[in-house]
Amino acid sequence: MNLTPDAHLSSAAQLAVLNSGERLDRWLADQISDLSRSRIQKLIEQGQIQINQQVCTSRKQIMQAGDQVQVTIPPVESLDLVPVAMPLDILYEDDQLLIVNKPVGLVVHPAPGHQHDTLVNALLAHCEDLAGIGGVERPGIVHRLDKDTSGALAIAKTDRAHQNLQAQFKTKTARRVYLAVVYGAPATAIGTVDAPVGRHLIDRKKMAVVPEAKGGRRAVTHWQVAERLGNYSLIRFELETGRTHQIRVHSAHINHPVVGDPVYGAGRSVGVNLPGQALHAWKLRLQHPVTDLPIEVTAPIPAHILTLLEVLRRRAGL
Asked if residue 300 lies in contact with residue 282, where contact means CB atoms within 8 angstroms, the answer is: no
What is the spatial distance between Cα 213 and Cα 41, in angstroms, rounded to a whole number? 34
Q: What is the predicted pLDDT for the residue at 224?
A: 98
139 falls in which pLDDT band (50, 70, 90)? low
Q: How many CB atoms lie within 10 A of CB 226?
A: 16
Q: Integer distance in angstroms from the first to the last C-alpha of the chain?
A: 59
What is the spatial distance between Cα 308 and Cα 277, in angstroms, rounded to a whole number? 11
Say which residue, 227 or 318, is predicted with more confidence. 227
Question: Residue 128 pLDDT more than 60?
Answer: yes
Say which residue, 117 or 225, is predicted with more confidence. 225
Question: Residue 173 pLDDT more than 50?
Answer: yes
Say which residue, 45 or 29, is predicted with more confidence. 45
Average pLDDT over residues 140-146: 85
Asked if residue 217 lies in contact with residue 240, where contact means CB atoms within 8 angstroms, the answer is: no
Average pLDDT over residues 50-59: 91
In this structure, which CATH number among 3.30.2350.10, 3.90.1300.10, 3.30.420.40, 3.90.930.12 belongs to the domain 90-315? 3.30.2350.10
Look up residue 231 and give its DSSP letter: T
Q: What is the predicted pLDDT for the residue at 302?
A: 96
Average pLDDT over residues 94-105: 94
What is the spatial distance between Cα 189 and Cα 191, in angstroms, rounded to a whole number? 7
What phi and psi values does residue 284 have, to the nearest 5 degrees?
-135, 125
What is the architecture of the domain spanning 11-73? Roll (3.10)
**Amino acid present at 120:** V
The whole-chain average pLDDT of the chain stands at 87
List 152's β-bridge partners, or say none. Answer: 101
Q: What is the predicted pLDDT for the residue at 38?
A: 76
**Amino acid present at 190:** I
List 287's β-bridge partners, or say none. Answer: 294
* 17-43 burial: b if 16+ Cβ within 10 Å, else e: beeeeeebbebbbebbebbbbebbbeb
Say which residue, 5 or 62, is predicted with more confidence. 62
Asked if residue 91 lies in contact with residue 99, where contact means CB atoms within 8 angstroms, the answer is: yes
The pLDDT > 90 percentage for the chain reads 51
Domain boundaries, the chain: 11-73, 90-315
Question: Residue 3 pLDDT more than 70?
Answer: no
Q: What is the predicted pLDDT for the residue at 7?
A: 46
Q: SS3 string of 95-121?
A: CCEEEEEECCCCCCCCECCECCCCHHH
pTM tops 0.85: no
Question: Residue 135 pLDDT more than 80?
Answer: no
Average pLDDT over residues 55-84: 82
Give yes or no on whether 11-73 and 90-315 have one common fold.
Answer: no
* Interval 234-264: pLDDT, tens: 999 999 988 889 999 999 999 999 999 999 9
Write the CB contacts of 201 (distance below 8 Å, at least 6 apart in sequence).
208, 210, 214
Asked if residue 272 lies in contact with residue 314, where contact means CB atoms within 8 angstroms, the answer is: no
Task: Out of 146, 148, 159, 261, pick the active-site residue.
Answer: 146
Provide the 3-class DSSP secondary structure of residue 197: strand
Q: What is the predicted pLDDT for the residue at 313?
A: 97
Identify each DSSP E strand in 56-172 by its residue range: 68-73, 90-93, 97-102, 140-141, 150-156
Average pLDDT over residues 50-77: 87
* Interval 195-237: pLDDT, tens: 999 989 888 788 999 999 888 899 999 999 999 999 999 999 9
Asked if residue 304 lies in contact with residue 311, where contact means CB atoms within 8 angstroms, the answer is: no
Tell me if residue 34 is catalytic: no
Question: Residue 9 pLDDT more than 50?
Answer: no
